[in-house]
Amino acid sequence: MDLSFKHQFSLVCVILLFPILCNCKEYYTKSRASYYGTSSGYGNSRGACGFGDYGKIVNDGNVTAVSSKLWKNGGGCGACYQVRCKIPQLCDDNGTYVVVTDYGEGDRTDFIMSPRAFSKLGLNTVTSEKLKKYGVLDVEYKRVRCTFNGNNIVYEINENSNNPGYFAINILYVGGTYDVTTVEIWQREQHQWVAMRRAYGAVFDYANPPEGEIKLRFQLSKNIEAHHVVSRFAIPASWKAGATYSTKI
Ligand SMILES: *[C@@H]1O[C@H](CO)[C@@H](O)[C@H](O)[C@H]1NC(C)=O
Ligand SMILES: *[C@@H]1O[C@H](CO)[C@@H](O)[C@H](O)[C@H]1NC(C)=O
């Protein structure tokens, strides 16, 4: 009798805990942020996500490298964060909205930002300059929905792709707060989805892709849920490196 009561009690706890766990995402997490140098103030085109020049200018150049915790082996590429510092006379209340384009570890930092993104932490240009002198700032952050490209997945055929022998894509943008965990390619002959390899960052590749049109399926995850999105439009058989496609989430 006593035992079964305990059993029920623990079951109730588990059920009640879920909403609490999910709400935690709404709170800010304490961390530290720094910045890297670029002559333009924008991002750089060599970021580990593999975005190339797009990684320089996406989100108006307000981009960031993140620590391994947020990098998630490349799954964190393209994620959007609100980051704000807390020095009352210097820091903007809303802080800066950044997109992950790169991986980078600093002195206990989670964010190493482009100069533009870091500047946005300050109330104005004068206080931004003061913040830069700190080098590393205490900040708090939270994951926010990416909205600047709509509720889409946008991907591009990687420049090293070669029709028909080698197929690779760069996932440039994912709307909302989703991480892309896997990308699969439809194998017409075997009648099944087969996983592409995550080459690095947001680059997925596949040697000897099926001939003809290419159909992709994305597995997205958000907190603990996961779901599949099948690209509504197949990539035409005559696909070429550099072409960009998008699909609704
Ligand atoms: C912060 O963002 C809110 C909502 O977008 C806006 O209304 C407010 O003016 C912003 N505050 C500052 C200091 O920029
Ligand atoms: C990017 O940062 C610049 C400079 O700090 C700022 O003026 C601009 O509004 C920001 N753009 C976005 C999309 O956040």
The CA-atom distances, in angstroms, between 67 and each of 34, 44, 104, 209 are 12, 17, 5, 33
Q: What is the pLDDT of residue 26?
A: 63
Helix (H, G, I), strand (E, B) or coil at 202: coil
Predicted pLDDT at 228: 86
Closest atom, ligand 1, to C-alpha of 93: 13
Give the residue whose CA is nearest to atom 10 of ligand 1: 94
Measure the CA dihedral 158/111/221/166, to 10°: 10
pLDDT in tens, 179-226: 999 999 999 989 999 999 999 999 999 999 999 999 999 999 988 788
Ligand number nearest to the C-alpha of 121: 2
List the chain pLDDT tens, one digit each, 249 residues. Answer: 444 444 444 444 344 444 444 444 568 999 999 999 888 888 888 899 999 999 999 999 999 999 999 999 999 999 999 999 999 999 999 999 999 999 999 999 999 999 999 999 999 999 999 999 999 999 999 999 999 999 899 999 999 999 999 999 999 999 999 999 999 999 998 999 999 999 999 999 999 999 999 999 999 998 878 888 888 788 999 999 999 988 888
Q: Which atom of ligand 1 is nearest to the CA of 92?
A: 13
**Rounded to an integer, what distance in angstroms lies between the CA atom of residue 193 and that of residue 119?**
45
Please give the number of the atom of ligand 1 that sits closest to the Cα of 123: 13
Cα separation, 2 vs 159, in Å, equals: 66
- Out of 93, 96, 124, mutate this one to test ligand 1's pocket (max ligand atoms within 8 Å of CB): namely 93
Distance CA 49, CA 33 (A): 19
User: What separation in Å is there between the alpha carbon of 116 and the centre of ligand 2?
Assistant: 7
Tell me how far the alpha carbon of residue 40 lies from the centroid of ligand 2, in angstroms. 14
Which ligand minimizes its atom distance to the CA of 123?
Answer: 1
Neighbours of 212 (CB within 10 A): 13
CA of 97 to the centre of ligand 2 (A): 8
Nearest to 41 by CA among 62, 67, 55: 62
Distance (Å) from CA 122 to ligand 1 centroid: 13
pTM above 0.85, yes or no: yes
All domains in the chain, ordered by first residue = 26-144 (2.40.40.10), 153-246 (2.60.40.760)
The token duo for 49 is: 């996500």
- Tens digits of per-residue pLDDT, 149-158? 998 999 999 9
